[in-house]
Amino acid sequence: MNKLKKIKDFNSAAEHYDRDAVMQSIIAEELIDRLNYIKINPKRILDIGSATGKNSILLEKIFPKAEIYELDFSLDMLKVSMNKRTFFNKLFSSKKRYFVNADMDQLPFHDNTFDLIISSNSIQWSENVDLLFKNINNILTIDGLFLFSSFLKNTLIELQQFKANELTQNFLTIQEYAGILNNNNFYDPVLIRDEYQNQYDDALSALRDLKKIGVTKSEDSNKSLRGKNYLLKLIDHLDQFKKNNKNILSYEVILGHAWKIRNAEEHVIRLMK
């Protein structure tokens, strides 16, 4: 993956991301809703891949006294989030919000900094998930919670079967996530798999939707310069998956949480469907 190209993709998507990323918003709300049933009172929260700050707004309501750090590699996404706060809120609000323009693969924080780390629909952009989870564990405090969602192996299966999977990321399986959590000293992980499908009136609308929210693979820019014949072949391919005369894009999603380990023998993993 070309990260510089991916940053450009998300910078371009920033202004209309809240409008277009409907499924991502639903997943994030479902993920954060789980905090209402988990006993935790964090003083400092990190949102990795925070995008336009919708997660932080939800987190503020649950933990009004917490400091919240939004981290994203797209500066334009962070700017959209910052601009959501009115002058009055900035001046008089006691809530502390910080904005960090950085790559999740190079987290710029000291160990034992955050009581809660959340990442929704972002981990798939990491170039080394195992190392990312190791670093997340390091910057969590003891008994800190890691809450995350990401896309799994069968995401965009319709596109994966076109041209040797050149259009999508190499998504992990739920079993691989379980192993990575276990290897990096997280305890009592709970992993839930879910499925979503987006419907479109035509294949071109589906492809435009993917481009607008930046979820497809980003390689060197010259690889995106494909001709009309390529596009027509891709549309014909996607039409094979139509249901009720609608084009379909499928998403397989993991929602999980795990705690920073206290005892090396506490490795119990629950997989739920």
* Sequence-ordered list of residues with C-beta below 8 angstroms from that of 1, at least 6 positions apart, any chain: 125, 127, 169, 217, 218, 219
Written as six digits, the tokens of 135 are 């670093």
> What amino acid is encoded at 171 in this protein?
F
Rounded distance, CA 160 to CA 150, Å? 17
The fraction of the chain above a pLDDT of 70, given in percent, is 85
Rounded distance, CA 82 to CA 75, Å? 10
| Beta strand segments in the chain, E | 44-48, 67-72, 96-101, 114-120, 140-151, 186-200, 247-260, 270-272
SS3 state of residue 121: coil
Rounded distance, CA 162 to CA 231, Å? 11
Rg (alpha carbons) of the chain, rounded to whole number:
19
Separation in Å, CA 19 to CA 15, 22, 54: 9, 7, 12
Can you give the pTM of this predicted structure? 0.88
The fraction of the chain above a pLDDT of 90, given in percent, is 66
Residues 179-218 have pLDDT tens digits of: 999 999 999 999 999 999 999 999 999 998 888 877 666 5
Report domain extents, the chain. 3-272
Question: 255 pLDDT exceeds 90?
Answer: yes
Written as six digits, the tokens of 104 are 């999740």
Among residues 217, 226, 165, which one has the least CA distance to residue 3?
217
pLDDT confidence band for 221 (50 / 70 / 90): very low
CATH architecture assigned to 3-272: 3-Layer(aba) Sandwich (3.40)
Residues 143-158 have pLDDT tens digits of: 999 999 999 999 999 9
* Sequence-ordered list of residues with C-beta below 8 angstroms from that of 234, at least 6 positions apart, any chain: 162, 163, 203, 207
Residues 83, 88, 89, 90, CA torsion sign: positive
SS3 state of residue 78: helix
